Amino acid sequence: SVFIAAMFAPYCIESFSPCSPFQQNLRHTIVSSFQASPKADSYGLLFDCDGVIIETEELHRLAYNAAFREFNLRIENEPVEWTVAYYDILQNTVGGGKNKMFFHFRNTTGTFPKYEDDKPAPSTPEEEQDLVDRLQSRKTDLYKELIAEKAQARPGVLELMDEALADENIFVGVCSASTKEAVTKVLDVTLGEERRKKLDVCILGDDVSKLKPDPMIYVTAAERLNIDPKRCVVIEDSIVGLKAAKGAGMKCVITYTSSTENEDFYGMGCDAKVPELGSRGVTLDVIFGPMISKGLDAEILTDVRDPR
């Protein structure tokens, strides 16, 4: 059988992980962080959440705009609103919701908005941070409401995840730049509680000091798995995620969406891209078989991926 270590470390990060700490060793023997040598016969499969497990970017955009309306954000008497085209740019440029708002106000508009009952725009970094924190908190609540109404896993994701979860030699996990609160809701709705509790590690935006495209989140996952990053394959959907995965020294498979299908993923170094995992029949063997039989530098998904 294919031996895989899905980049969901062999234990949960208790401070924020949606994984139950009491589920940690039901499927795997916990690898001590003090072990000197990495696991030589394992591989890593690491899922992003938004856009990979579920196509959520439009729901994020709608939630942001709803929060902007509630706070009555206005710049030069015009309401703040993110269009579909603009949000496509944001999600492929900036990781994390607060970072997106800072980028918008500092780089795109060059000014922070007036808000609520015509309160003046924040004038200090502390005031800017406070407004962004409040917006993000309200946006998360609105996003969770939308998820409960509309969330559905992308084709093939659950099948691939179940295949990995069924193998005691495979570690499965999620690495997402989104907050614990938002991701936990998505996983509960799309994976179901039983499947979610089988995940070995979930590393979220709350747990790292640098977000994608910085590779920290994937480097952290490899460290907690005690595994060579070259043995890890990341499932991503955006340029931001691809840069993070490749920066960590991992292979990356892109499952693009309608908002990212025109990006030059191969030009940025992705190892394979497909519109969906399910429609292309992506399995553990298709991903890791070549690496096992031909070496870690072997090309993957050669028979099912989009042409280069």
The set of catalytic residues is 48, 50
Query: Contact, 275 vs 256, CB < 8 A?
Result: yes
CA distance 55 to 60: 10
Q: What is the largest CA-CA distance in the chain?
A: 65
Distance CA 278, CA 222 (A): 26
The pair of three-digit structure tokens given for residue 302, joined into one six-digit string: 């050669």
State the sign of the Cα–Cα–Cα–Cα dihedral 220, 221, 224, 229.
Answer: negative
Residues 114, 120: contact at Cβ < 8 Å? yes
Token output for 112: 């922070």
Question: Half-sphere exposure of 29 toward its Cβ, with a 13 Å CA cutoff?
Answer: 5
Give the contacts of 277 (CB within 8 A, at least 6 positions apart): 154, 155, 156, 157, 159, 160, 235, 255
The Cβ-side half-sphere exposure at 112, using a 13 Å CA radius, reads 21
- Please report the DSSP string for 123-158 in residue order: -SHHHHHHHHHHHHHHHHHHHHHHHHHH--BPTTHH
Dist. CA 253–CA 263, nearest whole Å = 14
Strands 172-176 and 201-204: parallel
